[in-house]
A = this chain, B = another copy of it.
Amino acid sequence: MSIDTTTSVSLGVRDVHLAFGANRVLRGVDLTVARGATACVIGPSGSGKSTLLRTINRLIEPDRGDVLLDGRSVLADDPDALRQRVGMVFQQFNLFPHMSVLRNVTLALRRIKKLPEDEAVAIARAQLELVGLVGKADARPGHLSGGQQQRVAIARALALQPQVMLFDEATSALDPELVKGVLGVMADLASGGMTMVVVTHEMGFARQVADTVAFMDRGVVLEAGEPAAIFETPEHPRLRRFLSQVL
């Protein structure tokens, strides 16, 4: 499943604002991810990380600000086309409970990529193999363990070979072995040229996979930089306090 590097794109988030009613969740977020690079977003619960990911693929339209792919604003384009280029793994997985695992993965391949059934199944099986779940291809999501569901969600998004991947706590339900496995997949994707934004609260994971780490607090990116810089020489006192809590 390697990605065609000629299609890899950079991602820019520019001064994005968003409020749910009176709750100003994003208050001017800036983030830049180079082509084929991986950015990890860390930060306290409720700081707006999931919301940020949603504005990037325009599941939520920002109140203000812009999102750029290769320098081009995505706000003018068709959101459906955008989302075919930008894959997403949700924190709560959002699997389709009325379909088998296999069908969850093939659905968009068949309906959007318009692949014939057998081709879609082949791709899906390959993806499920990668996350160790071919054996559960015919099960319903409701009969899977938490980690299994999360892996299906990952397989579903990757099967579409997007240019940009948004992972929301992509390893929260995974044991260390699987985290290592997902890490391997991500390394492959990155070397294949995929641009990624990964929300995580596992600092070890962030340190391993990130080209850039961004620390969010209360709707703004307080500090961003290389993992080494962020984890070893954090500047912002809030970030220092945050990191001091890591076990």
Contact = CB atoms under 8 A, between A and B. Distances in A.
B173 A91 contact: yes
Interface stretch (A111-119, A158-166, A198-206): A198-206
B20 A202 contact: no
B178 A44 contact: yes
Interface string A88-119: 00011000000000000000000000000000
A79 interface: no
Contact count band on A: 35 or more
Interface stretch (A9-17, A55-63, A140-148, A187-195): A140-148
B180 A201 contact: no
A91 B148 CA distance: 12
A174 B147 CA distance: 16
The complex is assembled from copies of this chain, and their number is 2
A6 interface: no
A46 interface: yes
A27 interface: no
A237 to B, nearest CB: 14
Interface stretch (A31-39, A64-72, A239-247): A239-247
Given A180-B247, A208-B247, A247-B179, A174 B201 contact: yes
Given A46-B147, A169-B146, A205 B175 contact: no
Given A176-B243, A247-B176, A146 B42 contact: no
B247 A50 contact: no
A131 B144 CA distance: 29
Contacts of A241: 177
A45 interface: yes
A45 B174 contact: yes
A138 to B, nearest CB: 12
Contacts of A44: 147, 175, 177-178
Interface of A: 20, 42-46, 49-50, 91-92, 143-148, 151, 168-169, 172-180, 183, 201-205, 207-208, 241-243, 245-247
